[in-house]
Amino acid sequence: MSQFIEDIDQRTRLVGQNRMELLLFYLGGRQVFGINVFKVREVIAKPTLRHLPGSSPMVCGVANIRGRTVSVIDLARAIGFDPLPVDQNNDAKVIVTEFNRSVQGFWVSAVDRIVNVNWEMVKPPPRGTERESYLVAVTEVDGHLVEIIDVERVFAQINNLPTDVSAEVQKLAEQVPHDRRILIVDDSLVARKQIERAITELGFRTESRSDGKAALEYLEELAAADMVDASIELVIADIEMPRMDGYTLTRKIREHAKLKHLCVILHSSLSGQFNVDMVKRAGADDFLAKFDPNELGATVLKYARHD
């Protein structure tokens, strides 16, 4: 499986073209699941696990991976399935991921392959399904439904991330007008709620959309009514989203005569110089790695009106 990710740097050329690659895997049944390749560092055979007393029941144990102690999460159990057997499946793999400023492993029953998909073919999860809250999107590959897991939600269940903005940053926010809304665009419900809470603590009201296409349609409606300046303070958008990614959303905003002046902050669970460079190419004003409420708050205040 390591050969699938050796050329990860070359895969970055897909970003900004409204395309992505998914790593496909299984969780003990026939249903196919997916995770964005950009969140994946490597895929390894099942390692020796050491139980960590007091850890979440979703954590199989910890493993030494390339000299680093990494928590390994039973992904099936985390999204409501029966726990995966740790010792019985020789095909089991650990998907080692890096996002939200953390490295963690996901225990899966088997890994299939990597596929290239267009974000326009990636749809929001169907409403009312049992696993809806654990999915960010679905797509179809070779006639099979692929469920894309909200790994940020899984991560949040196990790690208590800080969500409160400090009193110092809140004090600075008192000097800024709060009559316009901040538009938050993110396909992860957990991420949207985290951002909404931080923004609300700054005194701003929020408007939210779950993908770039829905956000653009909302902004175009405001533009048609000449209500952009009266309604929107700035836009905070995730990069990896179904239907339209954050880079494409930013370019569409910059190409629109009545939207091009809007401040756009791209916000991603994926950090690194590549994202910073792509932010500049797409025309966004800034980039933030998820999730630090004070960093988010300070950046919002940097670009908000001060008159």
Average pLDDT over residues 196-202: 94
pLDDT at residue 278 is higher than 90: no
User: Looking at residue 169, what is its pLDDT?
Assistant: 92
The mean-pLDDT minimum among 32-36, 159-163, 287-291 falls in 159-163
Average pLDDT over residues 152-161: 82
**pLDDT above 70 as % of the chain:** 87
In terms of pLDDT, which residue wins out, 179 or 183? 183
User: Looking at residue 35, what is its pLDDT?
Assistant: 93
Cβ-contact 141, 32 below 8 angstroms: yes
Burial letters 157-192, b for 16+ CB under 10 A, else e: eeeebeeebeeebeebbeebeeebbbbbbbbbbbbb
| Mean pLDDT of the residues in the chain | 85
User: Looking at residue 104, what is its pLDDT?
Assistant: 92
User: Looking at residue 101, what is its pLDDT?
Assistant: 79
pLDDT at residue 127 is higher than 80: no
User: Looking at residue 136, what is its pLDDT?
Assistant: 85
The mean-pLDDT minimum among 34-43, 125-134, 166-175 falls in 125-134
**What are the tens digits of pLDDT across the range 88-115?**
667 789 999 988 778 899 999 999 999 9
Domains of the chain: 2-157 (2.40.50.180), 167-303 (3.40.50.2300)
Which pLDDT band, with edges at 50, 70 and 90, does 251 fall under? very high
Report whether the peptide linkage leading into residue 274 is cis, meaning its omega lies within 30 degrees of zero: no
Cβ-contact 118, 140 below 8 angstroms: no
